[in-house]
Each structure stands twice: as C-alpha cells, then as structure tokens.
Amino acid sequence: MSVASQFRTISGAFLDVFYPNICQICTIDLNMNERHVCLSCAHDLPYIGQNKKELQKLEKLFWGRVEVKHVYSLLNYQRGNQTQRLLHLLKYKQKKKLGHYFGEVLGEVITDSDQFHAIIPVPLHPKKERLRGFNQSRVIADGIAAKTKIPINETCLIRNSHNLSQTTFSKYDCWDNVRRIFSVKQSEKLENKHLLLVDDVLTTGATIEACILELLKIKNCTVSIATLAARI
C-alpha cells in the first residue's frame, strides 16, 4: 500500500470516529452506498411527481401574477410532514449537507439545464445570514450547480430589508411582508439571460414573486424557478 493510500485510510478512520457517516435526518449509520440520507428516510419523503400535471400545479400559482417559464420542485411541503422536518434541520440545525444533497437531486430533474445562463439564489438579509451562518437557498443552489454546471450569481439580486418568516402567513399578509424588499444591481450582467431563481420552499409564492418582479425589469430577462419543496 502506498503512503498516500495509507494516509487516506488513516484519515478516513479518523473522520469516521469524530465525524461519523450518519443519516442527517434519523442519525442511523449509513451504508457504503448511501450519502447523507439513509434509503429509508429518502423513501419516506413525499416527492412531487415530475410530470406535466404535477408541475402545472406549481405554475398555476403564478398565473396572472408574473411571467414564469418553468417551475421545478422536489418535495411536497405540508405543516408537520417530513419535508417540514427536513427544512427545519437544514435552516435551524445547520444541516447544510442536506441542502446540498437534495439540491443535487433537484438538479437531476431540471430538464434542458443548458437553457439557463445563471442560478440566482433568493438572498437573505445580510444580518439574518450572519446570524444563521449561511443562506439555505445558496446551499441548495450549490447542489443544483454541481449537477447542472450552471454558474451561480448572488451579487445582482439584493435583499434590502429583513422580513418575517412566511410559512404561517395568509397570501395577502405574505405579499405585504415582502413588498419592495428586493432590488437588482448591475442589471446589465443579466440582460438577455434565462435565470433559474432558487429558494428553499414555495408556499404562497409571495417572496419569489417579489424577486421575479425585480428581475423582469431587466432587458430581455426570462425567469424560471426551482425550489427544494412546495406546498401543492
């Protein structure tokens, strides 16, 4: 065995002791062929069917509101279900591996990914991002980019103010909560581009709609949406 191989073996053993390879949801030990989530937890998640009928339900959220090219989402979100638990682990328990892993899975269902010029993660307010330590939408976007090779742009869409969590709001309250909190800078970098806007969860669509309204002010800009989860 080479010195390099011995080092990798020793390093792997060290990591297994101090950073065990466990399921990020249920914490059982993972098998060699499992990554971040065990097969049982992955099987129990409520996936959204990737067919025209299911995806059209997501697109209907934006009919008559803003023009959206495509909407992609992976998991059905309902209060108290496994998807809500997964998002809670990602956002509040620092389980960033979950976001990246399921971002990769989402990347696999995004068809014709070469049509997109850039991924735009929905930004957090800088103060909130400092408190949390990361932006969950960027983590998911990193996973999508790893699969699709679409470049990420997180400098042009800016969040101007902090707003409250949307998940328990009515549709009207959600819209009132996000009015005028986003803006675009260096818009010339996004002219004539098809953008993939990425967020963690789609419920009323108010946050994403507020982002799209700003992005569509850019010359010849087209927007599609990808979220880890959606309420349908």
Average pLDDT over residues 94-117: 94
Q: Does domain 45-230 have CATH number 3.30.70.270?
A: no
pTM, entire model: 0.84
Q: Answer whether residue 10 shows pLDDT above 70.
A: no
Q: Answer whether residue 179 shows pLDDT above 90.
A: no
Express each pLDDT in 133-151 by its tens digit.
Answer: 999 999 999 999 999 999 9
- 188 in Cβ contact with 112 (< 8 Å): no
Cα–Cα distances in Å, from 77 out to 48, 161, 180, 211? 9, 26, 26, 21
Q: Answer whether residue 232 shows pLDDT above 90.
A: no
Express each pLDDT in 200-217 by its tens digit.
Answer: 999 999 999 999 999 999
Residues of the chain with CATH 3.40.50.2020: 45-230
Cα–Cα distances in Å, from 124 out to 20, 154, 207? 31, 11, 11
Closest CA to 165 of 199, 215, 119, 214: 199
Question: How many alpha carbons lie under 13 Å from residue 100 in its C-beta half-sphere?
Answer: 10
